Amino acid sequence: MKGLFTWIEFSQKAILYDRDPRFAGTTKFNYWKLWNFALEGITSFTTAPLKIATYLGLAVAAYAFAYGAWAICKTIVFGESVRGFPTLLVVVLFLGGAQLAFIGVLGEYLGRLFDESKARPIYLIKHLSFAITRPAAQRIMGQSDTAGMLAVALRSTEVTADSKR
């Protein structure tokens, strides 16, 4: 829940206090549960690990391509080659990098779908700096939906002129 409080930008202030010792028993919350709790907090509020997987996959694939070019040049120029090993290494690295990159791209799509499924608003309104009357908003909107009127009132520049009449 800590990430949710920072996401909606609640004002925060640290309050220092002396905690009393545990009354009875020992805690059942071990380091493994704490680690899982931390992973849940990271993956619930960011898609950064998915982006890291995408870029790491692209980097591995680029490295494999460069290594393959170096192995080919070395074989052509110097004539030295260990048969099969450079080819096998290049193929395995390139395919592994490409797979990791595409899994990262799929993860990006899933991460965006996950963010959309949370149905969190794009904007949060801290306070309004003007007042709008219901009839003025209805003239602008042409309907009586209060939430829609508020949304239009925030986007429209005509609202301030209509509300002063």
3-state class of 23 per DSSP?
A: coil
Does the pLDDT of residue 58 top 70, yes or no?
A: yes
- What span, in angstroms and rounded, lies between the C-alpha atoms of 101 and 96? 9
Place of tokens 């003239």: 139
pLDDT digits (tens, 9 = 90+) for 21-33: 888 888 888 899 9
Q: What percent of the chain has pLDDT over 70?
A: 65
Q: Please give the pLDDT value at position 32.
A: 92
> Buried (b) or exposed (e) across 106-120, using 16+ Cβ within 10 A?
ebeeebeeeeeeeee
Alpha helices in the chain (DSSP H): 2-7, 31-45, 48-78, 85-117, 134-141, 146-155, 158-163
Q: pLDDT-based confidence at 50, cuts 50/70/90?
A: confident
Whole-angstrom CA distances from 16 to 1, 19, 161 are 20, 9, 49
pLDDT averaged over every residue in the chain = 75
pLDDT digits (tens, 9 = 90+) for 100-110: 899 988 988 88
Higher pLDDT, 76 or 154: 76
Q: pLDDT-based confidence at 164, cuts 50/70/90?
A: very low
Q: Where are the domains of the chain?
A: 45-120, 121-165
Higher pLDDT, 94 or 135: 94
